[in-house]
Amino acid sequence: MHQANPSRYAETAFQARCGKSGLHLPKISLGLWHNFGSVDDYATARSIALRAFDLGVTHFDLANNYGPAPGTAEETIGRILREDLTAYRDELIISTKAGYTMWPGPHGDFGSRKYLLASLDQSLKRMGLPYVDIFYSHRRDPHTPMEETMGALAQAVRSGKALYAAVSNYNAADTARACAILRDLGTPCVVHQPKYSLFMRTPEEGLLDTVEKEGIGCAVFSPLAQGLLTDRYLCGIPADARAGKAHGFLRPEQISDAKLAQVRALNVIAKERGQSLASMAIAWVLRDKRVTSAIIGASKISQLEQCVAAASSDTLTSDELKRIDAILAA
Ligand SMILES: NC(=O)c1ccc[n+]([C@@H]2O[C@H](COP(=O)([O-])OP(=O)(O)OC[C@H]3O[C@@H](n4cnc5c(N)ncnc54)[C@H](OP(=O)(O)O)[C@@H]3O)[C@@H](O)[C@H]2O)c1
C-alpha cells in the first residue's frame, strides 16, 4: 500500500471549486487516455499515478475506451487503486465516460440509455469500484433525444454508481440544454470537458461563457495539443513520443512545418519567461478563471512534475498574451 506524501494539500490554491458545486478538482488532472493501456509498461504507469497523487493531483480522468486495448486503462487504474490507493479512495476523483465506439452494434457507441448504463457497469467492473465520482456523456449524440442521454446520466447518479453527471465535447447551445435537463432531473451537471489549448480555441466562441453562466466547472483536455505544445518535436519525432508510436493518436502528418514554426516562436516567449513551452501552455489555459482544471497526459514522471509546477507559474502579462496571439494568427 502506498504511503502518500503528507504535504499533498500544502498548496491550497491547487484545489479549485468546480463551478458552484461542492466538488473540487486539482488545477492539474491526470488523464489516462495514453500511457496506461495494456501496451504500456505497468510499473511506469503506476509510478506516474502515485507521484501525481503525492503532488495533490487527486483527479484521474478515464473513459471506457482508453487503452489500447480499449478498457485496459480502467483495468490499470483499478489495479493501482486496489494495490496502492485503497486507503485514499475518498480523496480521489475518478471520472469515466461513454460516447465513443466500445463494442459492436448500435448500443456500443454514442448516447443511448442502453449504451451509457451498460458501459458504466462495465467500467465499474474493470476498475473494481462500486461508483465513479464523475460520469460523462463523452459526446453529443445527434440521433438520440438529449432527454434520453441526460436521463441515463441522472439514473447513474440516482443509482449511486456515479456521484456527479457531466458532459464532454458538447457545443455551447447543447451544453445549456443538457444543464437545464439535468437540473430538472435533480442531478445537475457538474463539469464540462472540452478540448482547449493554444492550438484549439473554439471554447472561447461561447462555451466558456456558457459554463460560467451555468455555474459548472470546466476541465480542459489536451492543453499541450497531445505534446505538440512542448519541446518534444523540435528536433524530429522521438521513437518514444506519442507521434512515434503506432497506436498514438497524434500522427506524424499533424506535425507540419507551419505548426513547428509556431511552436518555435512560442518557445522563445516561454524561454524569456524562464519556463518550458509545456509550462507556458498550461499557464495559458489556466489564465482563464473559468477553467477549473487542465487534464494533462504524461509518459514520464518529469513531465507530470513540470505540468504540476506550471499551475503556480507567473501570470502571463498582457504583452506576452498579445505576442502569443500574433504568433497564432500568423
Ligand atoms: N473528453 C475527450 O474527448 C478527451 C479527448 C482526449 C483527451 N481527453 C483527456 O485528456 C487527457 C489528456 O490528453 P492528452 O494526453 O492529449 O494531453 P496533453 O497534455 O495535451 O498531451 C500529453 C502529452 O504531452 C507530452 N507532455 C506532457 N507533459 C510534457 C512536458 N512537461 N514536456 C514535454 N512533453 C510533455 C507527453 O507526450 P509523450 O507521450 O509523447 O511523451 C504527453 O503524453 C487524456 O488522458 C484524457 O483523460 C479527453
What are the DSSP E strand ranges found in the chain?
15-17, 24-26, 28-31, 59-61, 93-98, 132-137, 162-168, 189-193, 217-221, 293-296
Could you identify the atom of ligand 1 that is nearest to the CA of residue 193? 1
Inform me whether the pLDDT recorded for 330 exceeds 90: no
* Grid cell locating 118: 451498460
Question: Going by CA atoms, what residue is nearest to atom 26 of ligand 1?
Answer: 227
The amino acid at 230: T
CB of 226 shorter than 6 A to ligand 1: yes
Q: Which of 25, 29, 32, 33 to mutate to test the pocket of ligand 1 (most atoms within 8 A of CB)?
A: 33
Residue 200, helix vs strand vs coil: strand
In angstroms, rounded to a whole number, what is the distance separating the alpha carbons of residues 39 and 189?
Answer: 34
Mean pLDDT (the chain, rounded): 97
Give the bridge partners for 219, in sequence order: 293
CB atoms within 10 A of CB 5: 14
CB of 59 shorter than 6 A to ligand 1: no
CB atoms within 10 A of CB 273: 17
Domains and CATH numbers, the chain: 14-329 (3.20.20.100)
Give the sign of the dihedral formed by CA 29, CA 31, CA 36, CA 40: negative
Length of the chain: 330
pLDDT tens track for 219-273: 999 999 999 999 999 999 999 999 999 999 999 999 999 999 999 999 999 999 9
Could you identify the atom of ligand 1 that is nearest to the CA of residue 168? 1
What was the pLDDT predicted at 250? 95
What was the pLDDT predicted at 30? 98
CB 133 within 8 A of CB 93: yes
CB of 34 shorter than 6 A to ligand 1: yes
pTM: 0.98
Question: Going by CA atoms, what residue is nearest to atom 29 of ligand 1?
Answer: 303
